[in-house]
Amino acid sequence: MGVSMYRLNCITTAVLLAATLFLSACEKPATAPVAPPTPEVVILKVKSQDVPVAHEFVGKTASSRKVEIRSRVEGFLEKRLYTEGTMVNEGQPLFQMDAKPFEAKLNAAKAELAQQQARLDTASANLKRVRPLAKKKAVAQKELDDATGSYRSAAAAVEVAKSNVVQAELSLGYTHILSPVSGISSFAVQQEGAYVGMGSGSLLTYVAQVDPMWVEFSVSENQILKYRKAEKEGLIEAAENKDFTVDLILSDGTPYPHSGAITFADASISEETGTFLLRAEIDNSQGLLRPGQFVRALIRGSVRPDAILVPKRAVQQGAKGSSVWVIDDAGKAAFRPVTPGPWHEDDWFIDKGLHDGDQVVVAGGAKLRPGMVVKLVSAEQKPKAAAQ
């Protein structure tokens, strides 16, 4: 009986202690829930403005004048006078043909001229004697006619002989083969001692003029139609009088220091490639460009009027298209669909969906929800949660 009473007292004590602790806990004041912090975002207040744009194409440099150096006479090639692959100047000797046969022909032509000139002198003297006698009827008319014919024949023979001398002098001069332009020389097709003929066998080398340099690039039919559509819709304005300029970016990303202008547009679109050939002329006085280089050609002169630009990171891509977060005057976030246009450096043209003065979120939009109140942070500050 004593043990049972002891156990009953222990149980009663434990129950009373638990009840006391429960009541003490209930008497503690309730803690109010902590409100989540207001998200911070970086915004850009967009402004419509006229923005110059550039259209980029892949271009290839070409010599503005590639000249074939050919022999104009037949003979043996005596000497090459230039170093292959170097710059040559206009009028610089490139090759020397064996001139001896041509010198001999010139001497023969001069001798023939002297002979015909002597005949002419004799015929002229004879005509001067016969003409007075014919007036006095001292000689027959036939003698006057013969003397006149002999004079005219000798005079014609002299002219032929003079022409032969000129031709022989030209042929002798052609043995000195000169460069007609200043440019980069190519390798020699023929070497010393080779017999150089006329026609296809007369090619000796090439000289490529490199100043100015041509840059050729092709514009696809789709690009042409797209540009015309944008121009018709007022999204783009062409340069006045189509006066476009061309800037080059070299293969290593270096901007070329000189600008050029479009000087040629093909008459039709190529049936094979569906592209339209354009050609620009670029100053190359420093010799930085060589024929055959691939470059990026930037065609400048067009303007997008009243354009709106936003950073690329502000535009989100989803299943329903492109959109941006905007902040209204009450500081609340809203999700707005937009129609982006082409890229412009690190920004994106927005064709539809934004207006002048809209506040676009450019950082910190990952946790935004429609209608959420946000805290605006200047672009110079770094938001606490700006990653998207």
Residue labelled with tokens 């690329």: 312
Give 98 or 145, the one with higher predicted confidence.
98
Confidence of residue 122 (pLDDT cuts 50, 70, 90): very high
Q: Supply the pLDDT for residue 80.
A: 95
Q: Supply the pLDDT for residue 386.
A: 38
Mean pLDDT over residues 157-182, rounded?
Answer: 95
Confidence of residue 331 (pLDDT cuts 50, 70, 90): confident
Please tell me the class of the 53-63+209-303 domain. mainly beta
Confidence of residue 111 (pLDDT cuts 50, 70, 90): very high
pLDDT in tens, 215-245: 999 999 898 898 888 889 888 888 877 789 9
Q: Which residues contact 315 (CB under 8 A, 6 or more apart)?
A: 322, 323, 324, 338, 340, 348, 350
Q: Using the predicted structure, report yes or no on whether residue 67 has a pLDDT greater than 90.
A: yes
Has domain 99-174 been given CATH number 1.10.287.470? yes
Please tell me the distance from the alpha carbon of residue 62 to that of residue 66, in angstroms, as a whole number: 9
Worst-scoring range by mean pLDDT, 155-159, 213-217, 320-324, 340-344? 340-344
Q: What DSSP letter does each residue of 74-113 carry, written as one string?
A: -EEEEEE-S-TTSEE-TT-EEEEE--HHHHHHHHHHHHHH
> With contact defined as beta carbons under 8 Å apart, do 63 and 214 qualify?
yes
Please tell me the distance from the alpha carbon of residue 230 to that of residue 234, in angstroms, as a whole number: 6
Nearest to 97 by CA among 193, 170, 201: 193
Q: Using the predicted structure, report yes or no on whether residue 329 has a pLDDT greater than 80.
A: yes
> With contact defined as beta carbons under 8 Å apart, do 385 and 364 qualify?
yes
Q: Supply the pLDDT for residue 248.
A: 96
Q: Supply the pLDDT for residue 239.
A: 80
pLDDT in tens, 256-289: 999 999 999 898 888 888 899 999 999 999 989 9
Instruction: For the chain, give every domain's residue range.
Output: 40-51+307-377, 53-63+209-303, 99-174
Percent share of the chain, pLDDT over 70: 88
Q: Supply the pLDDT for residue 387.
A: 35
pLDDT in tens, 149-169: 999 999 999 999 999 999 999
In CATH, the number for domain 40-51+307-377 is 2.40.420.20
Q: Do domains 40-51+307-377 and 53-63+209-303 have the same CATH topology?
A: no
Q: Using the predicted structure, report yes or no on whether residue 382 has a pLDDT greater than 50.
A: no
Q: Supply the pLDDT for residue 29.
A: 54
Q: Using the predicted structure, report yes or no on whether residue 2 has a pLDDT greater than 70.
A: no
Q: Using the predicted structure, report yes or no on whether residue 79 has a pLDDT greater than 80.
A: yes
